Amino acid sequence: MTPSASPKPPQETHSPERWLTDHGDYLFRYARKHFPQDDVAEELVQDTLVGALQAHKNFEGNASVRTWLTSILRHKIIDRIRRKQKNPIVQLSEPLADDLWPFNESGHILEGSPQNSPWQGTPDAILEQKQFMDTLRACIEKLPENLRIIFLLREFDDLSRQEICNKLELSSTNVGVLLHRARLSLRGCLQKNWLTLHEGGTTK
């Protein structure tokens, strides 16, 4: 399996000694979205900085330092996912649901919600949106790793399904099934937790 090539660094960079101070926290948060374990996220950031230092000596580019470092980190994340991918799902066992709130027909998270959902355009919409996103983040962290990774690559990194297939060396069917199962799991978690909060109950 051929590792992903590191992107080119920018022509104008701050001193490498400043990378950890200036960008370490951001990179750690980015890595942790994909791998909630602190030790894994820290290892990814360390690998990113080492890779950046090596690439910095040999290549030139014109992106910002943070953008460049993030792109290297993304490659490290994808390489790690590839190595961990063992038994991809090849068959869809759950029936496709007609209503997959809070996702639209393309599978992306809705900015608002359908008419039959409780998220209405009230004066409290901003607060409700924050509560919703907080609950969504918690639900994402509870997903099995293979589902969480695929979902975040699609929604957080905005990769197309074909890009995910290419980067993870999975078939379109596998990616589609993983995305579908992730959305089903998230929908169930949100209905249980966010709707409970919305109706005045308590979340677990």
Which residue matches tokens 């993870």? 168
Q: Please tell me the predicted confidence (pLDDT) of residue 80.
A: 86
Which pLDDT tens digit goes with each residue over 2-47? 555 555 554 444 678 888 999 999 999 999 888 888 999 999 999 9
Check if the beta carbon of residue 64 is closer than 8 Å to that of residue 5. Answer: no
Of residues 87 and 162, the one with the higher pLDDT is 162
Indicate if the pLDDT at residue 150 is higher than 80.
Answer: yes
Of residues 60 and 204, the one with the higher pLDDT is 60
| The CATH number fitting domain 16-84, selected from 1.10.1740, 3.30.450, 2.60.34, 2.170.240 | 1.10.1740
For residue 112, which of 124, 123, 101 has the smallest C-alpha distance? 101
Q: What is the mean pLDDT of residues 127-150?
A: 83
Q: Please tell me the predicted confidence (pLDDT) of residue 118.
A: 45
Which pLDDT tens digit goes with each residue over 171-200? 899 899 999 999 899 888 888 887 765 655
Indicate if the pLDDT at residue 73 is higher than 90.
Answer: yes
List beta partners, residue 109.
Answer: 103
Please identify, in words, the CATH class of the domain defined by 87-204: mainly alpha
d(CA 103, CA 84): 28
- For residue 149 the two structure tokens come to 């990774």
What residue ranges do the domains of the chain occupy? Answer: 16-84, 87-204
Is-above-0.75 flag for pTM?
no
Q: How far is CA 141 from the centre of its chain?
A: 10
- For residue 187 the two structure tokens come to 């929908």
Check if the beta carbon of residue 195 is closer than 8 Å to that of residue 109. Answer: no
d(CA 131, CA 136): 9
- For residue 121 the two structure tokens come to 């355009």
d(CA 193, CA 204): 7
Which pLDDT tens digit goes with each residue over 87-129? 444 444 444 444 444 554 455 554 444 333 444 455 566 566 7
Of residues 15 and 52, the one with the higher pLDDT is 52
Check if the beta carbon of residue 88 is closer than 8 Å to that of residue 45. Answer: no
Q: Please tell me the predicted confidence (pLDDT) of residue 94.
A: 44
